[in-house]
Amino acid sequence: MKHNFGAGPCILPQEVFKEASNAVLNFNDTGLSILEISHRSKEFEEVIAEAERLVRELLRVPQNYSILFLQGGASQQFAMVPMNLLKEGGKAAYLDTGVWASKAAKEASKIGKIEIVASSSDSNYNYIPKNFEIPSDVDYFHYTSNNTIYGTEVFDKPKTNVPTVVDMSSDIFSRDIDVSEYDLIYAGAQKNMGPAGVTLVIVKDEILGKTSRIIPSIFDYHAHIKAASMYNTPPTFAIYTSLLNLRWLKAKGGITVMEQENIIKARALYDEIDRNPFFKGTAAKEDRSRMNVTFVMETPELEAEFLALSKERNLIGIKGHRSVGGFRASIYNALTLSSVNALVDAMKEFEDSKNKA
């Protein structure tokens, strides 16, 4: 058995893979593949409608919010957000907590004026800034809730009275949130929701249409809302597979149950990192991510040796990002506790072998 700790695209439940593969050959006994049915057909309209209902149910999305399934990943949202929310002559506030937060701010600066309210770049993004002020005159405040590269996560929404936008690409559906606290949420599907190719957007209707900017239709949230996520041909297979995963999540008991499982998994791994003298975590303890666990060796020269042991134990994708080095174990929703325990066992085995040497 292989244990997939890759940072993305995400691990998905085996039953989702099985159903999705069956649909590639014969979708719902239509005799057609999910890859070839018309996105205008009744069958696919039912897919996208059910996916929207499940997102609304699982996240308790209020009725005055629209739910969209778009393309272009979070990177396209880096531009769409300021296009739709940053007024001519206005300003937006950004929290800089990593590569993706920085890229979001850089894209917004091409549209209008932005202000970086705080940054953890001074310490290679290994913590979440605290006690920063968000100007009251900005059009919106943007932050990234989970930083996949650096292993930090924002669990409590920063307090502000201005519209709040959050990139939840890597922790959406992993924990309970109050959607009504946010004005726009976006998330690439490829961490916890589904395969790469579709991006979820949840937007409060009343914040749109206030910029006086002429927006190309493909980048206009209003155009996508009006067309029910079918302004252009949607990523049908990615949406269908996401639907299967949302059904799986509901069957498990929903997000509250999932969050408790994620807490247990993260605690098991962090406890071993803190206990084992050969390893140490890279992120500030109070800001540790439940989704992406980053750690290094106390003796860097031993990293290659541990990677070799991990490969022997079928632990896949734990090599850290080049910005941090060491190791990164991504423990998304579908990764089981048994896989986490397999990594913990390998760390203990490595310790024992070195102590006996």
Q: Which residues are catalytic?
A: 100, 167, 191
Beta bridge partners of 114: 92
Residue type, 107: E
> 328 with 281: CB under 8 angstroms?
no
Q: What Cα–Cα distance (Å) separates residue 334 from each residue in 104, 138, 194, 291?
A: 28, 38, 11, 11
- Cα dihedral 13/14/18/19 (nearest 10): -30
Strand-pair category, 327-330 with 292-297: antiparallel
> 86 with 140: CB under 8 angstroms?
yes
Length of the chain: 357
> 47 with 19: CB under 8 angstroms?
no
> 204 with 184: CB under 8 angstroms?
yes
Burial class (CB in 10 A: 0-12, 13-18, 19+), 210: middle
In the block, residue with structure tokens 């049908």: 236
Helix/strand number for the chain, H first, E second: 9, 14
> 161 with 138: CB under 8 angstroms?
no
